Structure 1
Amino acid sequence: MKIIAFIFINFLSIFMSFASAGENLVLYPEANLEVPQSDLYRVYLNDDKNNSLTIYKNVCNKYSRGMIGEEKYDDLPLTKFKDRSIHWGRFSFQGEVEVIVEVNKNITNKEIKIFPSRHAIKVKKLGANKFSFKLNRTGQFSVEIGKDGYKEVLLIFADPIENNQPKNLQEWKVIENANKSLSSSILGSDTSLYFKKGLHNIGVFKVPQNIKNIYIEGGAWVYGAFIMDGEACSNVKIFGRGVLSGGKLHLRESHMIEAKNGANGIVIDGIVIADYSFYAVRLLGKDNTVSWTKILGGWIYNCDGIAAYANSTIKNCFIWANDDNIKIYRDNIVVEDIVCWQLDNGAIFQLNWSNSVAKNCKICRVDIIRAEWESDRFNNGILSCRNSGGIDENFVFEDVRTDTPVTHIFRLSPQGKKSQIIKNFLFKDWNILIDYSKNKKNYFEGTKKTPLTKIVFENFKVNGKILNKENMSEILKTSILNCKKFEFK
């Protein structure tokens, strides 16, 4: 009977895989998950309530003195963001889809905005508590209702149709309702893990060196973290349409996905990383790829988004962070098609914290929905270099936009007594909004031995004005020290 059941499950998986390959819309209904869901939003697609999305809800952690993992200053963000919430849902599609949103309150006189604004998505109001909009492209979208709508934002993740889901489950270890004893059930001959739809709680899972594929099925909710430690744990792929949540880890218990000590070639694709309280993705090896990964629900400091070292690519991701959104610490890193939301700590792009060396990096098509800085401290800004002691050379930042005003852009003022080379930077096709009422500066401050050299601005707009030599001081409110060769095109 077990053999028959296994064959049936395998056949069903193959059938569903072929079926979904021809579909234009795939939903991931929850499977009796004991996971908080939204009491504010109801979302369905194509005017069909049978196409209802599961909308999850993440609420800012409640602060209590003496929390496990607590560090100094945790009370500050948890007090500041108290009662803030994120409501989010996801689906996969191709072609065009209409999204209908019902809100559990009257929104008659509220303006509705959908970011990124570059897509110019139009909203159609359908009543006192209902509206719709159409998507003809995949991506990550933020829906805000009214002036303070960002405090209870609705995030819609519209992924491409999967084309790499496992087909032959005979080659996979299929896992249902996993717990923290998962490691003991894995055989040396196992190479691939398949987390079925449903609830799992694996704790901090150290991936065995024989495991090279981890698939999280749409509708699967995995509490825990994945750690690849050592060169033998290279070339691991973590993918699917499911969720990896830190909701049952204590503060800073673990980075959510980490590769270290020579673990290279990690691939992360398609999953949601939710409810985290440390790094979301920390890949210290080379040759990594992070794509279509959605990161949300980090409220305390140390909630960094993505670090992926030399020769890595980060693309088509959404990153919510309360520390650095993306760290660019090694050579040949490519970042493209990213949507960012920054709380009040950290930078969108951090160049250096301690002796990093990065050359020949390219960043393009970045949409910053919000950056909630209230200060211009050393680690804030769209681009920051916090400490000295490293090298940043030959960078291109192209097509970077803000949807809402930020306080400042640049904090290139490395601290410390070491030299810091910042050389050959091109900022091309930027379109930035600044709130001047905050009276914050932009900093370009090198050292006497290593001044900032050849900083080039090409079609760089701030509040609609093209930056040039004559208006730079007025537009950017700059503090300039030990810099040479600014260029404007």
Structure 2
Amino acid sequence: MKATKTILVLLIPVLVRQASGNLNTYPAPHGIQASNKFQVYLSQGGNRKSSFTYITTSDQRAKEVSHAKGGRSVSWTSFSFSGGAVTAEIHTPHDFHSCIVRPQHYGYKCQRTGSKTAHVTVSSANRMMSVEFDYDYGSSNADIKDKMLIFADPPESNVPNEHDSSVLFYKAGVHNLNGQIHLNNKIKTIYLAPGAWVEGGFLSTANHGVTLRGRGILSTRSYKWHDNRFSWGMLNFDKGNNHVVEGIVMVDPEQYFFRGLSDHNTIRNVKMIAPWTYNSDGVGMGHDALVEDTFIWANDDSFKVYTDNMVVRRCVVWQAQNGAVFQFGWWSGRDMQKVRISDVDVIHTDWCTFKGNNCHISGNDAVIDLAGDTKSFKVSDIVISNIRIEGSCPRLVYFKMNPASTGSVTNMHFNNWSVESQPTHDSLHNEIQGANKATASNWTFTNLKIGGHCINSPSQADFSLESHTNNIKFTCH
């Protein structure tokens, strides 16, 4: 009996540790202001911790450019965990009756647990959430003024050696790079530690791949819009190939978040936020690109769908007032095959915000879009599946070829799309159009649902199929 009792005593602590899991909050960088809008506490297995909550605002950008709206903020907090679920306790600046977690696909509930207090239980890592409150839901002519984002990371592994000469290692704290660092031939890894706030960006110059990872923050909020010390964006990895960006948060871009037109690049578990200005594109990638488990809040095109063998999966998009979710245009020619996009939650399409009931949006604004003067097409074998669009989406597809175009866009398959609602406008429609020497053919929309109703004809979803289109089908199974 004594031996049995001893074994039980030894096993119980082990079982408790396995049940409670491992919750890691990240340190606060000295000198960075905490949010004055929201505070967050995290609990797992009875262990309650404060999670530092950041904030950045649109006010400086609004002074630079007329299209940026002042008086906006975004607060966010990040943490990692494994094991049992984590409860986020969110303290708000105003009381509320109801709240919601997006993407709704996660199935997470936001519960009011007291005055100015909400609880959200997060059961899995790799979750990127907007928590929204009824005092600030936004409307048809205004966006959410004070956004609150929560990012649940998987545990970090393989932290590089800070003394390795091939590593740029940024510890917790504030680091100002005075622009965009040009990476020399020696640098193979850039590491942003939890609690690191790095003001600046990076540009690849060598032929080898660079890995940028960690749990820190890369920001350009102290730089001007289109700052001439940057080439295109915060990260420009056009040179070299096999680049990897993983785990970090990117804040307030001076132009693009990421441009990597080299090949075999990977974006994983990256969070892109606070794009107050136009030209804040999400990702532009080369051939054989992979983007997964990533949050993109863009104020221009979120994904440049430009090259062969692109894979996008398990991403969350907040599309701001400008740009497309999936952009096929702008360049003079588009030669692209075998693209696979799946499991994307579009939690907002804000093209009509600030515009009231009479919404007129540009040719650059749609979920699937062809903008600019692209005139040469060789596009086929594109599959975009399991796309979930929340809220009111003014336009799903705007794909009108220039009359001088040549070539074809064929075998485009859109499977299992759900759209919460699509408003009706006199001058705003879903449109597909070819050209005299270019056709849009063999497009299928399978199980496209709007407001829960499956669409089996173009008219049911306000589609205008114009000249030089062929075999555009809507089917329900």
TM-score (norm: length of structure 2) = 0.86
Q: CA deviation at 1:480?
A: 2.6
Shift of 1:479: 4.7
Task: Give the SS at the match of 1:481.
Answer: coil
Q: 1:392 aligns with which of 376, 379, 382?
A: 379
Distance apart, 1:475 and its partner CA: 2.0
Deviation, structure 1 residue 25: 1.1
Give, in whole Å, the separation in 2 of the partners of 1:147 and 1:392. Answer: 45
Distance 1:391 1:380 in 2: 23
Q: Distance in 2 between matches of 1:373 and 1:64?
A: 18
2:191 corresponds in structure 1 to: 215
Distance 1:455 1:466 in 2: 17
1:482 equivalenced with 2:465 (yes/no): no
User: Secondary structure at 1:415's aligned position in 2?
Assistant: coil
Q: Secondary structure at the match of 2:460?
A: helix
What is the DSSP-based 3-state SS (H/G/I as helix, E as strand, rest coil) of the residue aligned with 1:344? coil
- The code of the aligned residue for 1:456 comes to T
User: Cα–Cα, structure 1 residues 52 and 200, in superposed 2: closer, same or farther, change >3 Å?
Assistant: same
Is the aligned partner of 1:243 residue 2:217?
A: yes
How far apart are 1:477 and its partner, in Å?
4.1
- Structure 1 residue 147, shift from structure 2 partner: 5.8
In the TM superposition, residue 91 of structure 1 has moved relative to its aligned partner by 0.4
Question: Is 1:464 matched with 2:446?
Answer: no
TM-score by length of 1: 0.84
Deviation at 1:332, TM superposition (A): 0.3
Query: 5 Å matches for 1:111-122?
Result: 111-122=98-109
Q: Within 2, Cα distance between the matches of 1:36 and 1:484?
A: 56
- Supply the RMSD in Å over aligned alpha carbons: 2.0
Shift of 1:123: 2.2
- Structure 2 CA distance for aligned equivalents of residues 421 and 398 of structure 1: 21
Alignment partner, residue 75 of structure 1: 66
Partner amino acid, structure 1, of 2:312: V
Matched, 1:324 2:265: no
Report the Cα offset of residue 154 of structure 1: 0.6
Given residue 384 of structure 1, which amino acid in structure 2 is its aligned partner? D
Instruction: Report the alpha carbon displacement of residue 464 of structure 1 after superposing the two structures with TM.
Output: 1.1
Task: Name the CA distance, whole Å, in 1 between partners of 2:147 and 2:26.
Answer: 21
User: Is the CA contact (8 Å cut-off) linking 1:376 and 1:408 kept in structure 2?
Assistant: no
Query: Shift of residue 24 of structure 1?
Result: 1.5
C-alpha distance in 2 between matches for 1:367 and 1:101 = 23
Deviation at 1:394, TM superposition (A): 0.8
Out of 378, 381, 386, the residue aligned to residue 366 of structure 2 is 381
Do residues 151 (structure 1) and 145 (structure 2) align? yes
Using the TM superposition, give the Cα deviation of residue 399 of structure 1 relative to its aligned residue in structure 2, in angstroms.
0.3
Assess, with a 3 A threshold, how the Cα gap between structure 1 residues 205 and 169 changes in structure 2: closer, same or farther: closer
The question of whether the paired residues in 2 share the 8 Å contact of 1:420 and 1:447 is answered with no
Alignment partner of 1:280 out of 257, 276, 280 = 257
Correspondence for 1:337 among 292, 299, 314: 314
In the other structure, the counterpart of 1:128 is 115
Unaligned runs of 5+ in 1: 1-21, 68-73, 173-189
> 1:388 Cα shift?
2.5
- Deviation (angstroms), 1:82: 1.9
> Could you give the per-residue CA deviations for residues 124-172 of structure 1, whole angstroms, max 9, x where no partner exists?
2211211101111121000000163332111000011112222x444x2
1:148-227 maps to which residues of 2 (within 5 A)?
148-149=136-137, 150-166=144-160, 168-170=161-163, 172=164, 190-202=165-177, 203-227=179-203
Check conservation: 1:43, 1:101, Cα contact below 8 A: yes
Matching residue's letter, 1:29: P
SS in structure 2 at match of 1:352: coil
Among candidates 24, 28, 31, match of residue 30 of structure 1: 28
Letter in 1 for 2:382: F
Deviations 1:328-371 (A, max 9, x none): 11100000011001111110000121113221000000000101
Inter-partner Cα distance in structure 2 for 1:404 and 1:251 = 30
Does the 8 Å contact 1:392/1:422 carry over to 2? Answer: yes
Aligned to 1:256: 234
Report the number of matched residues. 432
**Partners in 2 of 1:239 and 1:23 — Cα distance?**
24
Task: Choose from 320, 345, 356 the match for 1:367.
Answer: 345
Whichever residue aligns with residue 56 of structure 1, its letter is Y
Trace 1:405-444 onto structure 2 (pairs within 5 A): 405-415=392-402, 417-419=404-406, 421-439=408-426, 440-444=428-432
> Is the contact between residue 351 and residue 392 of structure 1 (CA under 8 Å) also seen in structure 2?
no
Deviations 1:9-48 (A, max 9, x none): xxxxxxxxxxxxx96211112031x234211111011177
Q: CA deviation at 1:326?
A: 0.7
The share of aligned pairs that are identical, in percent, is 28
